[in-house]
Amino acid sequence: MEKFSDVLTKEQILAATEEVLRRFGIAKTSVIDVANVLNVSHGTIYRHFKSKAELLEGATKKWLDEKIIEPLTDVCHNTTLDGPEHLKTYIRTLIELKQHYACEDEELFKMYAKVTDEATDLIHKHISEVTDQICEIITRGGIKSEDPLQLAHAIFHATTRFHHPAHAYEWRSPMIHNEFLDVWALIEKGNLYENPR
């Protein structure tokens, strides 16, 4: 019966978890369902993941790495872009990816939203990867700043409404893209003291 149990990898278990999540949703997904897909006992799964919560975290990490971090890394390392324009492309890509998957991969996006709400270390690590890349773009693009990592965090926080999963309900608005452009204009060259905007 346990035909894969000896060679079963974490990667295979997570791929099966994704499949089950897309089919049944978070609430109805159980460790037993995942075991059934792989044709192993649930004990085999528990040898790799201590609980359903840990399994969901593993699946969220895989999903964030593949769907969000990989394409963002390409933008970060794109040498045809530079300075504020590079930064804007990076943030716009982050926003477009989140908004795309909120519609197109609804069940896995909901899982990510749930894990975010529980403020796990995994999410803190994901955010650090993004802010480190923003920092890299700031430094490489010669954007002047006394503290590039602090500026990276401020830019990430100021654009929260457009990429944090708790705001997915606002992304259906036809105004959302223009609202981002207005916030970006404020970040890019906002000055409440002098310049007319």
Q: Measured between alpha carbons, how far is 158 from 95 in angstroms, rounded to an integer?
A: 13
Which is nearer to a second copy, 32 or 185 (by Cβ)?
185
Which is nearer to a second copy, 2 or 182 (by Cβ)?
182
* In the complex, least distance from residue 78 CB atom to a second copy, rounded to whole angstroms: 18
Are 49 and 7 in contact by the 8 Å Cβ rule? The answer is no
Whose tokens are 């998957």? That residue is 101
Displacement of CA 77 from its chain's centroid (Å)? 18
* In the complex, least distance from residue 52 CB atom to a second copy, rounded to whole angstroms: 21
* In the complex, least distance from residue 185 CB atom to a second copy, rounded to whole angstroms: 7
Are 72 and 94 in contact by the 8 Å Cβ rule? The answer is yes
Q: Measured between alpha carbons, how far is 110 from 85 in angstroms, rounded to an integer?
A: 31
* In the complex, least distance from residue 84 CB atom to a second copy, rounded to whole angstroms: 4
Q: Applying CB under 8 A, which residues contact a second copy? A: 83-84, 87, 117, 119, 143-146, 150-151, 153-155, 157-161, 164, 166-167, 169-170, 179, 182-183, 185-197
